[in-house]
Amino acid sequence: MKPLTHPSQLAGWKARLLEERPAWRKTIVVSNGTCGRASGSLGIIEALGRELDRRGLKETVGLEITGCHGFCELEPNVVILPEGIYYGRLKPEDVPAIIEKTILKDNVVETLAYADPKTGRRYVLRKDIPFFRKQMRLLTEDNLRIDPDRIEDYILADGYQALAKVLFDMTAEEVIREVDLAGLRGRGGAGFPTGKKWQFCRSESADRRYIICNADEGNPGTYMDRSILAANPHSVIEGMVIGAYAMGAAEGYVYVRMEAPQAVRQVTLARDQARQHGFLGKSILGSEFHFDIHIVEGAGAFVCGEETSLMSSIEGRRAVSRQRPPFPAQAGLWGKPTNINNVETWANVPLIIKRGAEWYSQIGTSRSKGTKIFSLVGKIRHGGQVEVPMGITLREVIYDIGGGIKDGQKFKAVQTGGPAGGFLPAEFLDLAIDYDNLVQAGSTMGSGGMIVLDETTCMVDMARHYMHFTQEESCGKCVPCRVGTKQMHDILVGITRGEGKEEDLTRLEELGDSIRVASLCGLGQGAPNPVLSTLRHFRQEYVEHIQHKRCAAGVCKDLAPSSGEEAGPAGRRVKKNRHD
Amino acid sequence: MIKLRINGREIAAESGTTVLDAAQANGISIPHLCAAKGLSSYGGCRLCLVEVKGKRGYVPACCTPVEENLDVITETPRLLELRRLTFELILSEHPHACLVCLEKKDCEEYKSTTRKVGEVTGCVLCPENGQCRLQEVAAELKLEKVRYPATYRNFEVHREDPFFDRNYNLCILCARCVRVCSEVRGAGTLTVAYRGPQAVIATALDRPLLDSGCQLCGACVDACPTGALSERALKGESLPDETRSAVCPLCSVGCGLEVGLRKGRLVNSVPKAGSPVNDGQACVKGRFLVRDIVLSPQRALRPMLRRNGELVSVSWDEALDGVAQALASKPERSQGLVLSSQLSLEDQFVAGKFARAFLKTEPVFDSPDTLALSAYRKMLQTDGPTPDANFEAASLAAAGVIVVAGADIPLSHPVLWVNILKAAMKGTKLIVWNSGESLLDRWAAVSLRTMPGDESVALDELGRWFLAHRPQAFWSSIPGGEELKASLEKASPGGTVPPARFSEEQINAFGELLDEAQDGVFFCGPGLLNRPGAEGILAKLWNLARLAGARLIPLAQESNGRGAVELWPSAGPVAEVLQGLGEGRFGSLYLAGTIPPLGAARPDFVVVQDSFRGANYETADAVLPAATWAESEGTFINVEGRIQRSKKLVEPLGEAKPDWWIFCRLAEKMGSRDFLFRDSTDIAEEISRTLPALHEVSSHHQKKGRTAFVREDRKPGSRLIASAPVSRDGAARTALAAFEAWPDIPDFYRGLNLREQFRGLRRLREKTGPAGGSREG
């Protein structure tokens, strides 16, 4: 197909696609994201294909392979349309029954329907399942309708219409004003107002500007960005083209880590399709706007998520942070004004343009608008990728959506914000999630990791775990981050081994407070947070470890568990360093 | 100027500088380790954190540009606390017993406790002891204790490269070495490898420096604030108790050196910061060889005469008598004097005067570029135009384009390269034309390459670009223009012109760059100068430069090559002497500071006046031990035309005497009263009086401390020189057979073959020498 050279061709194309769409009686949608595949979705797809073929249903029943549906716990899963019947945790053996009963006879296979682990009640329809009921899937609901290999599916989902609107009906200033009015804030974690950031970049005079999509997602336990790129890559690309138009950039980069191969594959494919169809390249949709996207694979250094490091890496140099100012908007990639936004931020842009700032700003709290995608993981019943409106409480996310704590344990804390975030205990469960509340509580929004911990977790050990991560991932440039985090880590290792000393806590606090203000970039500035927030909310646990050489959770093997047993010999030496 | 406040004080600072610069310039001390003059801001050590009113948190002064009305506070209890803690963290990875030792004071005063701490902690055994920046910062922060456990990182010390060791156990990762290597020297040999606690400075794949494109310039050693990079020769050596300024005699750049002395003995030499020539940069020779040259076991220490076939030690008086008698006994026109252009102006002047007075001859030089320079000047002067060969390396950045032809400047004039690189980094376009590859190509906008012997043809090709791009009026407006045009046209394709040497794109790129750029500079180096037919090539290059409105500067190689040309413009080449020797025309030969290959054809009497027992020492009839440049005062004119006076640093070894002294005493013995100079300043006065171009050599002028240059005709000529088109005939080809495309770097100081004497230099040249492989030398 030839590239589109006029916006009207977009509507024509969509109409044609609608016409050509096969009239399937039913459609089986298979969730085939990374965790779907890991749980065996490819086997399900194969079994479904075979079964449909065997029964001669190929013409009347559709089989759609899509990206992640979000409910990781129940992968592999299928959704049967038009009813929206949800079957989870499938095995290839289940396939004949699904075809036999549901496809041919319109009956439900009760045993495959989701059963609430608390009440045992079964939910047949996807929309009824508690995991989905409280979500607001503005960005992710389309995942069900989109085969990421096919740009046509994105067009059918009204894709690139926001771009057409922007290119032909809006000035760059109007686009920025719209994004600003919508109240969109950076989803990478810091929550800087996106419209303002765009304005900074635009108002910097330069012969060229760049925009970057930060898809380096490196926080342990998070997978929102890669799953957006793998499931609906065009939404990100469309957002980027709109942003490029608003800021006057002619080139953009998607910096995506190669450790997310599906995201790399899908975004590359989508970029190529967008080029073929005239959404990227010269004279986009026949306008006078030119823009193209390069895809750069990151090698998996955590610090590459930091914007100055990321740019250094794109430039082909060692990924090292540099002092800001100058901010990227002033002197970024190759010294030119550059705007970096996270995947999720870019994905929000077409939505805002399509539905308007006014609609968008209705969602969320007074200062945090829209929805936020979280990776809900840890000791939770229903882990998965959840999209919720800003302002929802932690309790709602953890208990209503996530179904509460696994294995009858008690909630202990929730970790948000990744290695730069913090741990929040039960008294914060009713905290409404937004950027400012989380910071106030001693954590951060971060890019959207949400790790739920139960009573079997040792907070000291968790803090040690995070410190281990950040000190390993420090770029090594500035002293507080390179040496300070290592000192903190060593102290924490000592405490978990029963070698803790009274002054360790003051030392940790002193180091933490200093590293936070003295470090060069966000990595170091955020690094002490897991320790400081556990010290703030779980200080007693540290004291137990140090004074009584006890680890209540029984995680620190060199210490005695608290259940009435005698404390072991203090400071017992361990032969092997288990932490290395 | 920008006005800001630091600690409440109104301060004016230049735009583009940092808060740290402004503070330092106004005597406000902010501790810092990673910031260094001339290097990009880094912000790694975090010691210079300050508060800025109205800004959240703390910002590093080294990375904060001055802004109008900035209100900076450099000292608060919290800042001090942060600095102390950060410094403690730095020390937790650096052996620091020496910095916080309880017995530090006694130790420093009485050296009473040298052995109380193990070697790992360094203490007074640290090579940097006494000049360590960490010691300074520790004192500044009054740090008495490091509360954090120390980590010894246990890196193997790199001792595989010549001249200095790299002990990364002492490294604080300030990356000064990395920055100086890439930002100032353009080498990019070093980088930070790995991340987090594993971070360490390394070469690519951790290969030795010699395998990593390092030229051993030592800039990293001088940039290092700790003992991590340390000069091997200084280990076990006490620190200098005195430093003196000197001019490096080892190439024509004439770097300012700071020579360290201890009890009057030469200890080391480091590049002088702030010197207008080299501002803190040097090369392998100036940085690491100076002391070993002066203290070489090869030094000639005593006057000797050949008696009964054997060289025997004699007194100066006997030696001078012997030489005077021998020279006086030779018939007219049968004597020769070969001079080194590494001698000071004063030495050369007296030597030449001596040659004229007693040997009835002009001195000759054995450095080919000096001769080429002379020839070039002669050619231009007979034709009308006067060459303007002066320039200031530091202002090269103002040039729009720099053309380097026939020179591997990074190797032959390393510190001139530092200035060219600085210009290239700031946007000056670099055009490189050589017969081989070099570091220059990495920075070149256009790289041209020709086979040796094709230069003339290639120059015509480049010249023809102007034929097509300059109107007729242009040619008729400049003297010689019409003739040149005609000769270029005659050489146009279709005639008897050899096939093209450059592609059309290359020629266009070359022409367009020259056309667009303002203030071009052409450097012409030994690759074109030291070869048969150099004059013809220079004439064409001169034309090209003039057509582009640029200047042509031929590069001398030796420390006083330019001075030799100014003093003895009519000096002949040593080849003539050598030929004359073969024909038996010489009765005596006086070799002052040089070792031309005499071969079997020897005159009756050979005087070797040198500081070293060089090649002709064993067969000499008289040996007169000369002082090195460090042992006498003298004036040198560097490649820029800058007149620099180098002071006497140490007493001469043995019985060595300055060259001028020897010539004067000899002249007296031979009955002249024209050589009654008391010291070298007397000679400088006479030079200043007799030669208008060298007027400013006079010590009177030099004492004023201002920059002195060779005087030049204010208006450089613009005349073009028409020359016949060149083809490669048989004779030229034969001449070229012996000619090397990349002339060797002259690694000599007087009679001492540095490459032979110093293994480190030999290894370097073998690895990264001009031919990229081993050479005989």
Say which of A301, A478, A507 has its CB closest to residue B195. Answer: A301
Q: Please check the confidence at residue A94 and state whether its pLDDT lies above 50.
A: yes
Indicate whether B499 and B605 sit together in one domain. Answer: no
Q: Please check the confidence at residue B355 and state whether its pLDDT lies above 90.
A: yes
Q: What confidence tens digit (pLDDT) does each residue in A108-157 have?
A: 999 999 998 888 899 999 999 999 999 999 999 999 999 999 999 999 99
Q: Please check the confidence at residue B730 and state whether its pLDDT lies above 50.
A: no
Domain extent for A395: 371-454
pLDDT at B237: 76
- Going from the C-alpha of A278 to that of each of A120, A151, A242, A286, A289, the distances in angstroms are 52, 12, 14, 8, 11
Final residue of a structural domain among B54, B75, B96: B75
Chain B: residue nearest A467 by CA? B196
Chain A: residue nearest B81 by CA? A514
Rounded percentage of chain B residues whose pLDDT exceeds 70: 87
Chain A: residue nearest B90 by CA? A479
Greater model confidence, B436 or A389 = A389
Chain B: residue nearest A504 by CA? B148
* Residue B93 falls inside a structural domain: no
Say which of B45, B58, B196 has its CB closest to residue A472. Answer: B196
Say which of A323, A490, A518 has its CB closest to residue B86. Answer: A518
Indicate whether B611 and B630 sit together in one domain. Answer: yes
pLDDT at B499: 60
Indicate whether A295 and A192 sit together in one domain. Answer: yes
Q: Can you list the pairs that A101-105 forms with residues at least 24 positions away whose Cβ atoms lie under 8 Å? A: A102/A26, A103/A26, A103/A28, A103/A57, A103/A61, A104/A55, A104/A57
Chain A: residue nearest B61 by CA? A323
* Residue B293 falls inside a structural domain: no
Chain B: residue nearest A503 by CA? B147
Indicate whether B510 and B624 sit together in one domain. Answer: no
ipTM: 0.91
Within 8 A by CB and 6+ apart from B690, the residues are: none
Indicate whether A403 and A342 sit together in one domain. Answer: no
Q: Which residue reads 């890669």 in tokens?
A: A226
Mean pLDDT of B478-487: 83
Chain B: residue nearest A514 by CA? B82
Interface list for chain A against chain B, based on CB atoms closer than 8 Å = 301, 303, 318, 320, 322-323, 471-480, 482-484, 486-487, 490, 507, 510-511, 514, 517-520
Mean pLDDT of A55-84: 93
Q: What is the phi-psi region of residue A322: left when phi exceeds 0, alpha when psi lies from -120 to 50, beta otherwise? A: beta
Q: Which of B42, B82, B89, B203 to mutate to test the interface with A (most CBs of A within 10 A)?
A: B89
Q: What is the CATH number of the domain that holds B50?
A: 3.10.20.740
Residue A299, both tokens: 């090698």
Q: Which of B70, B86, B182 to mutate to test the interface with A (most CBs of A within 10 A)?
A: B86
Indicate whether B439 and B577 sit together in one domain. Answer: no
Say which of B82, B92, B191 has its CB closest to residue A483. Answer: B92
pLDDT at A563: 52
Indicate whether A340 and A395 sit together in one domain. Answer: no
* Residue A557 falls inside a structural domain: no
Q: What confidence tens digit (pLDDT) does each residue in B495-537 have?
A: 555 566 788 888 899 999 998 888 899 999 888 877 767 777 8
CB contact under 8 A, B173 and A476: yes
Q: Which of A302, A479, A516 to mutate to test the interface with B (most CBs of B within 10 A)?
A: A479
Indicate whether B363 and B381 sit together in one domain. Answer: no
DSSP state, A76? S
CB contact under 8 A, B43 and A517: no
* Residue A383 falls inside a structural domain: yes
Q: How far apart are the first and last CA of chain B?
A: 54
Q: What confidence tens digit (pLDDT) does each residue in A210-225 have?
A: 999 999 999 888 999 9
Separation of alpha carbons A381 and A409, rounded Å: 11
Indicate whether B553 and B404 sit together in one domain. Answer: yes
By the 8 A CB rule, do B517 and B716 touch?
no
Chain B residue numbers with beta carbons less than 8 Å from the beta carbon of A476 are 173, 192, 194-199
Q: What is the CATH number of the domain that holds B587?
A: 3.40.50.740
Indicate whether A441 and A479 sit together in one domain. Answer: no
Separation of alpha carbons A42 and A53, rounded Å: 16
* Residue A571 falls inside a structural domain: no
Chain A residue numbers with beta carbons less than 8 Å from the beta carbon of B86 are 479-480, 484, 514, 518
Indicate whether A210 and A331 sit together in one domain. Answer: yes
Indicate whether A400 and A329 sit together in one domain. Answer: no
- If DSSP codes are grouped into helix, strand and coil, which group holds residue A335? helix
pLDDT at B731: 43
* Residue B255 falls inside a structural domain: no
Count of residues in chain A: 580
Q: What confidence tens digit (pLDDT) does each residue in B424-445 have?
A: 999 999 999 988 888 899 999 9
Q: Please check the confidence at residue B573 and state whether its pLDDT lies above 80.
A: no
* Residue B55 falls inside a structural domain: yes
* Residue B773 falls inside a structural domain: no
Indicate whether A116 and A196 sit together in one domain. Answer: no
Indicate whether B550 and B620 sit together in one domain. Answer: no
Indicate whether A72 and A205 sit together in one domain. Answer: no
Final residue of a structural domain among B56, B75, B94: B75
Indicate whether B375 and B520 sit together in one domain. Answer: yes
Separation of alpha carbons B455 and B533, rounded Å: 10
Q: What is the CATH number of the domain that holds A420?
A: 3.10.20.600
Indicate whether A227 and A78 sit together in one domain. Answer: no
Q: What confidence tens digit (pLDDT) does each residue in B380-416 have?
A: 665 555 567 889 998 899 999 999 998 999 999 999 9
Chain A residue numbers with beta carbons less than 8 Å from the beta carbon of B58 are 517-518
C-alpha distance from A510 to closest chain B C-alpha (Å): 9
CB contact under 8 A, B58 and A517: yes
Chain B residue numbers with beta carbons less than 8 Å from the beta carbon of A318 are 191-192
Indicate whether A303 and A243 sit together in one domain. Answer: yes
Chain A: residue nearest B197 by CA? A482
Q: What is the CATH number of the domain that holds A513?
A: 1.20.1440.230
Q: What is the phi-psi region of residue B504: left when phi exceeds 0, alpha when psi lies from -120 to 50, beta otherwise? A: alpha
By the 8 A CB rule, do B605 and B621 touch?
yes
C-alpha distance from A191 to closest chain B C-alpha (Å): 17
Domain extent for B458: 371-557+718-729
Indicate whether A292 and A394 sit together in one domain. Answer: no
Summary mean pLDDT of chain A: 93
C-alpha distance from A318 to closest chain B C-alpha (Å): 8
Final residue of a structural domain among B29, B44, B75: B75
* Residue A553 falls inside a structural domain: no
pLDDT at A551: 93
* Count of domains forming chain A: 4
Final residue of a structural domain among A403, A420, A454: A454
Q: Which of B85, B147, B151, B182 to mutate to test the interface with A (most CBs of A within 10 A)?
A: B85
* Residue A561 falls inside a structural domain: no
* Residue A566 falls inside a structural domain: no
State the pLDDT confidence band at B578, using cuts at 50, 70 and 90.
confident
Chain B: residue nearest A472 by CA? B196
Q: What is the phi-psi region of residue A367: left when phi exceeds 0, alpha when psi lies from -120 to 50, beta otherwise? A: alpha
pLDDT at B775: 35
Q: What is the DSSP string of A527-546?
A: TTHHHHHHHHH-HHHHHHHH
Chain A residue numbers with beta carbons less than 8 Å from the beta carbon of B44 are 477-479, 520
Interface list for chain B against chain A, based on CB atoms closer than 8 Å = 41-46, 49, 57-60, 63, 81-82, 85-86, 89-90, 92-93, 147-149, 151, 172-173, 175, 191-192, 194-199
Say which of B90, B151, B191 has its CB closest to residue A479. Answer: B90
Rounded to the nearest 5 degrees, what angle is found at the Cα of A514, between the Cα atoms of A510 and A520? 155
Chain A residue numbers with beta carbons less than 8 Å from the beta carbon of B90 are 479, 483
pLDDT at B769: 65
Indicate whether B322 and B398 sit together in one domain. Answer: no
C-alpha distance from A314 to closest chain B C-alpha (Å): 18
Q: What is the CATH number of the domain that holds A179?
A: 3.40.50.11540
Q: What is the CATH number of the domain that holds B495?
A: 3.40.228.10
* Count of domains forming chain B: 3
Indicate whether B392 and B525 sit together in one domain. Answer: yes
Summary mean pLDDT of chain B: 86
Q: What confidence tens digit (pLDDT) does each residue in B169-205 have?
A: 999 999 999 999 999 999 999 999 999 999 999 999 9
* Residue A572 falls inside a structural domain: no
Separation of alpha carbons A532 and A552, rounded Å: 20
Chain B residue numbers with beta carbons less than 8 Å from the beta carbon of A474 are 195-197
CB contact under 8 A, B89 and A487: yes
* Residue B145 falls inside a structural domain: no
pLDDT at B116: 47
C-alpha distance from A71 to closest chain B C-alpha (Å): 36
* Residue B428 falls inside a structural domain: yes
Separation of alpha carbons B761 and B776, rounded Å: 13
Chain B residue numbers with beta carbons less than 8 Å from the beta carbon of A320 are 192
CB contact under 8 A, A490 and B149: yes
Indicate whether B533 and B569 sit together in one domain. Answer: no
Q: Please check the confidence at residue B103 and state whether its pLDDT lies above 50.
A: yes
Indicate whether A167 and A290 sit together in one domain. Answer: yes
Indicate whether B455 and B545 sit together in one domain. Answer: yes
pLDDT at B235: 78
Residue A271, both tokens: 């970029």
**Segments of A184-270 assigned E as strands:** 210-215, 251-257
- If DSSP codes are grouped into helix, strand and coil, which group holds residue B228? coil
Within 8 A by CB and 6+ apart from A49, the residues are: A63
* Residue B525 falls inside a structural domain: yes
C-alpha distance from B49 to closest chain A C-alpha (Å): 8
